[in-house]
Structure 1
Amino acid sequence: MKSILTLTTLAVLTLGGGALPALADDDDAPTFGLAGLLSNKNKHDLPEVILSSGMPLADAPWVLKSGGYYEVEITADGSQELALAGPEFFRAIWIDEIVIEGLEIRPLGLDSVEFDEAGTMEIGFIALKPGTYNLHVPGTTGDTQRLEITIE
């Protein structure tokens, strides 16, 4: 076993020149920092989504880039018990974390979120699957109760 490890090490050092190539000189190298997709260079803040009885969810649709890291605050004003659903959207993203009053949740999946009272949550995610999706208040049909999202 020792001889195999020694030969492998020698082969890597001989063929690879003994050092790692410099990524900064490579035109094809990723432009992200050491954290990759989670780096600050890849982070974008989205407009806040406000859940309020009878009020629109957003001013404009979202257009996201696949591979981009996004953070959004969702705030309920407590005017009514309200939920925000979008299972197709939540399956098209990878959720890094959900933060509620300083508590961090790292879920494997999500269908919807619901506010029984006033509060704010922040969701950090990476957009993955291109397509058109929406977040909506369940049981409503109005366009103002729907947020259209496109992942390019």
Structure 2
Amino acid sequence: MKRIFLASLMAVLAHPALAAPLCDDLGFAGLLASCNRGEPIELTLASGQPLSKEGSYALQSGAYYKIFITADGSAELAISGPDFFRAIWMNEIVINQIEVRPMAIDSLEFDAAGTAELSFVAIKPGSHTLRIPGSTGGSQKVTFNIQ
């Protein structure tokens, strides 16, 4: 009996701790509560420039985030990441004060200068990448590690 108990205890302790939302009392807003929001993430689409100042971001599963993607208009550029977009619940995408609530997306393409604001809840743990399609440089992608 002691061996079964010890084996059960070891199995429980061997798994990583589950990430909890950023606040204890989510209130009426649930996961979208202001206390459950992570820091905003800023990405820049510009010809020959890095996509982000950071190479990767750590996100907490169950927390609400915003990504601001700004294109400078220097080239027609897109950002793609089907694995990332399937690991999150997309709340909305705001472009020129037009709110879109999509079921799913694979990429966004900017033909001219502008900003898109994506708000979402991180869901699926793992490492997920957003990148400029067709690029091979390390600075042309950003990795999101959802814990």
Normalised to the residue count of structure 1, the TM-score between the two structures is 0.79
Q: Show CA shifts across 1:104-150 (max 9, x none).
A: 00000010000000000100000000000110000000000010110
Tell me if the contact between 1:136 and 1:147 (Cα under 8 Å) persists in the aligned partners.
yes
Matched, 1:141 2:136: yes
Q: Equivalent pairs: percent with the same residue?
A: 50
CA deviations over 1:5-46 (Å, ceiling 9, x no partner): xxxxxxxxxxxxxxxxxxxxxxxxx52121110111111232
Task: Give 2:47's aligned residue.
Answer: 53
Residue among 126, 131, 136 paired with 2:126: 131
Q: Cα distance, 1:72 vs. partner?
A: 1.2
Tell me, yes or no, if structure 1 residue 38 matches structure 2 residue 32.
yes
Equivalent residue number for residue 106 of structure 2: 111
**Alignment of structure 1 residues 19-98 onto 2, 5 Å:** 30-60=24-54, 61-98=56-93
Structure 1 counterpart of 2:40, one-letter code: L
Name structure 1 gaps, 5 residues minimum: 1-29
Amino acid at match of 2:113: A
Structure 2 unaligned blocks of 5 or more: 1-23
CA displacement 1:43-91 (0-9 Å, x = unmatched)? 1232310000010011211100000000111000000000000000000
- Measured in 2, the distance between the counterparts of 1:120 and 1:75 equals 4
Task: Look up the equivalent residue of 1:41 and give its one-letter code.
Answer: C
Structure showing greater radius of gyration is 1
